[in-house]
Structure 1
């Protein structure tokens, strides 16, 4: 039996030098996220907030492919120590994991059925994709990697231009160059424009497989019109740092011991 844990990191050290972060509003927004997760009976765990100003963006630190756990190799030197917290978490859970040797970040990796979509951002390299493919072969996992190309000088990670709602539906940005590759995988593709992309329209999360949480008012309206169960919460202080709800949550499926 498996259960989902959402890993968070409380933003006590969060800061963006080029932005004016309203700390009071920031804590209020983050606590609203926590309260919503608790209300929906989501299993939350917190990483130690000891390794830098961007650690709140936990999605980047690791990723999971079926029962295999991977620790990212962060591109920015200022974020490299952050992975120590996720490695500690894996060790405490007695989980086997693989540490990537080449630069790749969890925000660029989305596992869907027997496909792995990897965003070719400025923080994920082709060498990392090859390394990942080779390791999956060692694990004897029949998973195809699809490289997603997008405007990487404007958006940080794949989850800033693409996200999945359900097994048939996804949201994709006009900033993605090879949208046709994505259209082959989904019956319904919701295309959003560049303006809403820059407002992190694809950076939503789905809670308990039926509730979508977004920080983008226009995406909220679009999804509500399409009859998706959607909630809007203001997350403006974290959007200033280039990430929204998806970036600040790291979901992992953990095997429950009898």
Structure 2
């Protein structure tokens, strides 16, 4: 049995689902892209190749192994993108919550059935049909759950709007003892630099009371200010629009002291080391072309 336990983003990691990249299928057509960054690379002929992405994910698997983390992988589905395991489900406390994701991606959850079968069935929760949610938007943080969302009436016109207010309200019902804090994120179907696909694309808490944040990812200044005040301005590493585009906020904590980061994030990695973090650098720039990075490809099951 897997005894789920997740209360935050940084406690010592013990078990995780890491996506896979060995059979993504042919390059999608331009109009099939789920996000503006993928569309950009489809158009430019620079869409990532399976073997390059496999190599990048193997590097992460090695780091996880080094820290004695139990790593589960989805079973392979031919010609199907299974890289971003964070989207399909997430854990809060001892509950395994199956996300309501884009219809085209519904087979992904079946590929981790061998993991789900080890979880107490009474702990598995599915959201109602009208409550859209993806794991990249959900961050448990002690008494809080931070949730990225999009409040606009034009929600349905954005393929990049993944979590709606119905889901935020449903989360509050499921966890009445938690404070749910939602953030209205900037969305764009066409310009990657203007699109915060998930909350972890423009914000992420770290150990030692630190956080990474991109001001322009938030549509409501007060919500951005709330986060900065919560963590303290001196503890927040502000990333530029270009750094957000490169996914600098999408690193992944193995413990309060250890962070896996992309090797090209020079400014961020220097700052992390100055703050006393151990930075495990990996190549992940090919995976980044699909508007996701380290947090997106990992779904933690157990943290101390």
* TM-score, structure 1 as length reference: 0.88
- Judged with a 3 Å threshold, the aligned counterparts in structure 2 of structure 1 residues 51 and 167 are, in CA distance, closer, same or farther, namely farther
Residue in 2 that maps onto 1:13: 23
The whole-number CA distance in structure 1 between the counterparts of 2:249 and 2:143 is: 22
Which deviates further from its counterpart, 83-92 or 203-212? 83-92
Moved more, 146-155 or 115-124: 146-155
- Cα 1:43–1:184, aligned 2, differ >3 Å: closer, same or farther? same
Aligned to 1:119: 148
Correspondence for 2:100: 73
1:135-190 CA-to-partner distances (Å, cap 9, x unmatched) read: 223xxxx1011111222221211111111111511111122322112123223222
In structure 2, do the counterparts of structure 1 residues 70 and 169 end up closer, same or farther at CA, with 3 Å as the change threshold? same
- 1:86, distance to aligned residue in structure 2 (A): 4.1
Q: Equivalents in 1 of 2:302, 2:229: separation in Å?
A: 27
Q: Distance in 2 between matches of 1:91 and 1:70?
A: 14
Query: Does structure 2 retain, via aligned residues, the 8 Å contact 1:9–1:48?
Result: no
- Greater strand proportion: 1
Residue 220 (1) aligns with residue 274 (2) = no
Q: Please state how far the C-alpha of 1:197 moved relative to its aligned partner.
A: 0.7
Rounded Cα–Cα distance in structure 1 between residues aligned with 2:96 and 2:169:
17
Corresponding residue for 2:65? 38
How large is the Cα RMSD of the aligned pairs? 2.2
Indicate which of 242, 249, 256 corresponds to 2:298. 249
Correspondence for 1:205: 252
Bigger mean CA offset, 29-38 vs 179-188:
179-188
CA distance in 2, matches of 1:97, 1:243: 26
Query: Would the alpha carbon gap of residues 148 and 223 (structure 1) be closer, same or farther in structure 2, given more than 3 Å must change?
Result: same
Structure 2 equivalent of residue 185 of structure 1: 230
Structure 1 moving runs of 4+ over 3 Å: 85-88
Name the CA distance, whole Å, in 1 between partners of 2:208 and 2:274: 19
Structure-2 separation of matches of 1:107 and 1:170: 16
The answer as to whether partners of 2:257 and 2:278 remain within 8 angstroms in 1 is: yes
Give the whole-Å Cα distance in 2 for the aligned partners of 1:115 and 1:51. Answer: 39
Identify the residue that residue 283 of structure 2 maps to in structure 1: 234
Count, aligned residues: 250
For structure 1, the 5+ residue unaligned runs are none
Corresponding residue of 2:181: 146
SS in 2 for 1:240: helix
Task: Structure 2 unaligned segments of length 5 or more: list them.
Answer: 6-12, 29-41, 151-160, 189-194
User: Does residue 50 of the first structure (1) align with residue 91 of the second (2)?
Assistant: no
- Measure how far apart 1:91 and its partner are: 2.6
* Structure 1 residues 54 and 157: CA distance shift in structure 2, 3 A: farther
Does structure 2 retain, via aligned residues, the 8 Å contact 1:21–1:237?
yes
